[in-house]
Structure 1
């Protein structure tokens, strides 16, 4: 047991202090976005919006995310990641506090669009900062540490949010969200100011390649959109399937979903460390991760045994644990040949676009054709993503030979 503990701790060794600080800032920021999990409930219960109204508001949420991510990438290349992160955190804090005063449909659409526009400018800047603060050989593990922070934040946020709603109501969420973003900004100022932070990997490209002209990266983008579309079903249609078809209670659904975050927290870093030491191609590993996610859907149609839900969740979780860190590391590595902010923005946009289409399409399919058909469709789509990654392998091999 002691040896296992030391081996686990060893997987975190060698990461720079700056990466640890960046992870803490990300944890505070993500734990602070408590409004988001309760947004649909707040809009329908407190503001009495109809479900179609809520759907449109979530569309504006996604549009703000896409534009914010794109804008964040552009600004990162022009003024640097530090300024973008700082302004994004401060701006998001102020806008979250103001959002509580938006009471009409039009005002909330505009408000949530602005919040996401400013908030998601942080993402490409953070990825570029992560690249700068990491030694080349530590980038994948650094990405994994950030993912652990995000997962912890998303796990803690809703729990704290539930307590706040019970104690002081929904308005308290907006205040806490705003304050935590501002606190994260002050921590950034304190510990990662350019005069204090140590840069470990400076990338200067004389003639940068535009991400939008990079054929291989566009193929990668399509694969990541498919991955995002597939993965996000676990946060919209899957909980409904657990409740309506498998007759799980809300508590049981929560425990099953919580298993995902807990498993990632315990095993992702050792798994990534082990896979890195095996010297496998990042693209092949991403394809394998997406393949596991695909299988997690189709197995649900095989049996009515309740244990298959745990197997499905385990397959998805392991797939996610492999695909996310290595896809992120691939994007960071590829970005070295061009404008880093632009590359990291395009990578993040793939998932932002998934948010716009995934939930709505999944719900419509379940409504018209049922869950069994939907899981078959999602599996085929995910396997198409695996095939796309093998096309990427061929393109990269051809690039290498020319």
Structure 2
């Protein structure tokens, strides 16, 4: 019985090209070493002594840099190719993390974090475009899921190790690990993966397909982006307000906070690929899955309204994780499916910018609500915002159903 279940689980990972596995490997190395982000708000508040408002503005700077980087990464991927952008981004940002630990002033950190994130997040749209080049069309959602599994497996290992590192070495050690992982990941990518200008999997019948509509006139895509923005705002609470809440409400250590994030990563590693394969196999409407995911994420914050028992933190994480497993793989897939061939970069740039904007709004909004109304006020606001996101996704479903056949040909993955 167990052997059959194991083989069935392994079958979910078959059919990927060698390059996709290398992308997953370097993503894992990079994310396992990404130890600064989960504890950045705690580092700024507890180690450097900044106020809630100052922490919020530095996180805004983080998000603004991420937005600029996402836009640049997508635009340059279409112009000079994703390969060069990926190498430049991880190499330079790795060096940047080494330098960041020496900057401790408020204004210095505002500028430094903006610049580092502008370079670091050029990687994300370029990586999404690379999946389009190295994965067969029928495997792209699963390829996105595989890379997300690598991200979450990295996060499963990273935060707990980061918590131990903080307790034994201090926050400075995080910057060394973060920078080293960026440089190591991109050296492996450069060594093992060769640049590919064109995908061998592009549509042979329409090799010269051009952009026949503007991304700015794609109304369902923009409503979808607002829904995605909301799921991002909810998700980033895990790295901005929740670590502070763990400490102030329940006196959890960094290691214990890291273990909660590890639970998130492990559940995604074991369950997300089978869930995605099942949904793909049974051709369930992907936009409905996004709506269900948003319900789970919204519900996780309502659970936090009960604050008398630390066990609710685990229950909250379970709801958040299952919501995340439903929302994120198919949001990536839907965004890619809207893009005409050769213009994936601009669509994925705008898509990743929505997460950057989410980081800005999540941090600043959460910190300001907490400062004025307390943590409970923030959890109620986030839960209610999540259900607004559910309504937006159902609105997109109605709009996509009304689209003419010509346009539906570019969105065949979400029917």
Q: Distance in 2 between matches of 1:297 and 1:45?
A: 25
Q: Distance in 2 between matches of 1:51 and 1:377?
A: 18
Q: Deviations for 1:14-33, whole angstroms, at most 9, x for unmatched residues?
A: 12211110011111222233
1:211/1:346 contact within 8 Å kept = no
Report the CA distance between 1:308 and its aligned residue. Answer: 4.9
Q: 1:371 to 1:303 in 2, by over 3 A?
A: closer
The yes-or-no answer on 1:346 pairing with 2:347 is no
Equivalences for 1:187-266 in 2 at 5 Å? Answer: 187-194=188-195, 199-202=199-202, 206-208=209-211, 209-241=213-245, 247=250, 249-250=252-253, 253-266=257-270
2:89/2:123 contact within 8 Å kept = yes
Q: Which deviates more, 328-337 or 84-93?
A: 328-337
Q: Distance in 1 between matches of 2:379 and 2:145?
A: 29
The yes-or-no answer on 1:134 pairing with 2:121 is no
The yes-or-no answer on 1:58 pairing with 2:59 is yes
Q: Which deviates more, 339-348 or 89-98?
A: 89-98
**What is the DSSP-based 3-state SS (H/G/I as helix, E as strand, rest coil) of the residue aligned with 1:12?**
coil
The equivalent residue for 2:20 is 19
Q: 1:284 to 1:177 in 2, by over 3 A?
A: same
Q: Distance in 2 between matches of 1:173 and 1:253?
A: 16
**What is the DSSP-based 3-state SS (H/G/I as helix, E as strand, rest coil) of the residue aligned with 1:399?**
coil
Report the CA distance between 1:41 and its aligned residue. Answer: 4.3
1:92/1:118 contact within 8 Å kept = yes
1:207/1:338 contact within 8 Å kept = yes
Report the CA distance between 1:105 and its aligned residue. Answer: 2.9
2:397 to 390, 393, 401: 393
Report the CA distance between 1:363 and its aligned residue. Answer: 3.0
Q: 1:65 to 1:141 in 2, by over 3 A?
A: same
1:89/1:119 contact within 8 Å kept = yes
Q: Distance in 2 between matches of 1:165 and 1:11?
A: 37
2:132/2:199 contact within 8 Å kept = no
Q: Which deviates more, 71-80 or 253-262?
A: 253-262
The equivalent residue for 1:332 is 336
2:42/2:244 contact within 8 Å kept = no
**What is the DSSP-based 3-state SS (H/G/I as helix, E as strand, rest coil) of the residue aligned with 1:206?**
coil
Report the CA distance between 1:340 and its aligned residue. Answer: 0.6
Q: Distance in 2 between matches of 1:318 and 1:222?
A: 21
Structure 2 spans left out of the alignment, 5+ residues: 407-415
The yes-or-no answer on 1:104 pairing with 2:105 is yes
Q: Deviations for 1:355-394, whole angstroms, at most 9, x for unmatched residues?
A: 1111221233234334444433323221111111111112
Q: Distance in 2 between matches of 1:243 and 1:180?
A: 28
Q: Count residues in correspondence.
A: 400
**What is the DSSP-based 3-state SS (H/G/I as helix, E as strand, rest coil) of the residue aligned with 1:346?**
helix
Report the CA distance between 1:275 and its aligned residue. Answer: 1.4
The equivalent residue for 2:120 is 119
Equivalences for 1:370-385 in 2 at 5 Å? Answer: 370-385=374-389
Q: 1:362 to 1:55 in 2, by over 3 A?
A: closer
Q: Distance in 2 between matches of 1:128 and 1:84?
A: 11
**What is the DSSP-based 3-state SS (H/G/I as helix, E as strand, rest coil) of the residue aligned with 1:336?**
coil
Q: Distance in 1 between matches of 2:379 and 2:286?
A: 27
The equivalent residue for 1:73 is 74
Q: Deviations for 1:317-342, whole angstroms, at most 9, x for unmatched residues?
A: 11110110011111111123562111
Q: Deviations for 1:48-79, whole angstroms, at most 9, x for unmatched residues?
A: 55554333322211110111111111101111
Q: Deviations for 1:111-167, whole angstroms, at most 9, x for unmatched residues?
A: 111110100000000001012111111111111111111112223233444455566
2:92/2:119 contact within 8 Å kept = yes
Q: Deviations for 1:188-245, whole angstroms, at most 9, x for unmatched residues?
A: 11111126x9944236553214322321211111110111112223333445555555
1:313 to 291, 303, 317: 317
Q: Which deviates more, 279-288 or 92-101?
A: 92-101
The yes-or-no answer on 1:177 pairing with 2:178 is yes
